[in-house]
Amino acid sequence: MSELLSVQGLETQFRTREGIVHAVNGVSFGLKEGETLGIVGESGCGKSVTVMSMLRLIPSPPGKVSAGKALFQGKDLLKMSDDEIRHIRGSQISMVFQDPMTSFNPVLTIGRQVSEPLEVHMGMNRKQADDRVVEMLTKVGIPNPRDRLNDYPHQFSGGMRQRVMIAMALVCTPQILIADEPTTALDVTIQAQIVELAKRIRDDLGMAIIWITHDLGVIAGLADRLAVMYGGYIIETAPIRDVYAHPSHPYTLGLLGSLPRMDESGQRRLVSIDGLPPVLLEKPNFCPFAPRCKYVVEHCWKENPPLMQISPDHTAACWVNPETGRER
């Protein structure tokens, strides 16, 4: 499998009244063909801003992508002309958003909205586009798709709307699908439907997925690799099983400990992470997790740890090995 996307040293800031918010501080990751990468973190950790920066969807001002590269098939998305990037968005890289209620235009029919990328990118006429839309809507499990082309978004339920959104993202058969918390607004039974659908479609079409979430449960059954973000940094990356079996950053360890598990009967006390997520108004010269960390040592306050190799495929940004409690 070759590298499809390679993000290197991405940095994004926002100007606000309080000062400059350092939302993403040098994020690097790669995505192989057909791979599913999970990006996990709490609100405000920079996971959405990372992918939005990559696709140049950050409104500027107030936002600014100040450094880094995002190489898609060898070409830097950040340096392309507006025309070129517009050609890639929606056809080769497409996105599914969190809130299926507000991401559609309420005054256009579903058929019109789902077929728009086809007309724009593929130059299809209405008739051809409609046929393709019906095919996609069938694939994502919308009953009687041809009759529903003329329906408006409010006539669909939340789960159905998310299916339509996925169909819209997939009509041009993209190589990368970015899903930004696509199941957060949905109920568990509907969430299970959507996750099942995503897996089936991935196996059918063989595209790569970046799945952004705060839920370590959903992503466990879905991703091949995981990147954990905190305070605008990626603090741990590893193949999915390694993250859960050998979490090597105290934050990952804390997140896993704070989750109650359905398959657990004992009354274990939840491990909480004390304190609050960082305010990103300053780029720290120490480890951003140090104020909340149980394993903190002198070194953590002097230097922000880079991502370090733990095992061949596993990196973590921590001076301490949480398994031994000593510095690496």
Partner 1 sequence: MAANEVLLNVVDLVKHFPIMKGVLIQKQVGAVHAVDGVSFDIVKGETLGLVGESGCGKSTTGRAILQLHRPTSGSVFYEGKDLVKLKGENLRKTRRRMQMIFQDPYASLNPRMTVGQIITEPMLIHDMTTQKDTQGHAERLLKLVGLNPAYTSRYPHEFSGGQRQRIGIARALALEPALIVCDEPISALDVSIQAQVVNLLEDLQAKLGLTYLFIAHDLSMVRHISDRVAVMYLGIIVELTTRDELYSHALHPYTQALLSAVPIPDPAIEANRKRIILTGDVPSPVNPPSGCRFRTRCPIAAEICKQKKPEFREVTPGHWVACHMV
Q: Which is nearer to partner 1, 255 or 300 (CB)?
A: 255
Q: How far is the CB of 249 from partner 1 (least distance, A)?
A: 13
Q: How far apart are CA 152 and CA 187, in angstroms?
A: 22
- Kindly tell me which of 48 and 175 has the beta carbon lying closer to partner 1: 48
Which is closer to partner 1, CB of 91 or CB of 248?
Answer: 248
Closest CA to 16 of 52, 61, 65: 61
- Report the interface residues with partner 1, using CB under 8 A: 42-43, 157, 159-160, 187-193, 195-196, 214-218, 220-221, 240-241, 244-245, 254-265, 267, 269-274, 276-277
Identity of the residue, 81 or 272, whose beta carbon is nearer to partner 1 in the bound complex:
272
d(CA 233, CA 28): 9
Q: Residue 138 CB, nearest distance to partner 1 (Å)?
A: 15
Least distance from partner 1 to the Cβ atom of residue 190, Å: 7
Distance separating alpha carbons of residues 114 and 100, to the nearest angstrom: 14
Residue with tokens 């995503």: 198
Which residue is listed with tokens 């804390």?
254
Phi, psi of 293 (to 5 degrees): -90, 140
CB of 277 to partner 1, least distance (A): 7
Decide whether 127 or 269 has the Cβ nearer to partner 1.
269
- Structure token digits, residue 102: 């507000």
Q: 277 exposed, middle or buried (CB, 10 Å; 0-12, 13-18, 19+)?
A: middle
Shortest Å distance, C-beta 48 to partner 1:
14
Nearer to partner 1 by Cβ, of 2 and 267: the residue is 267
> Shortest approach of partner 1 to residue 87 CB, angstroms?
36
Q: Which residues contact 163 (CB under 8 A, 6 or more apart)?
A: 137, 140, 141, 142, 194, 197
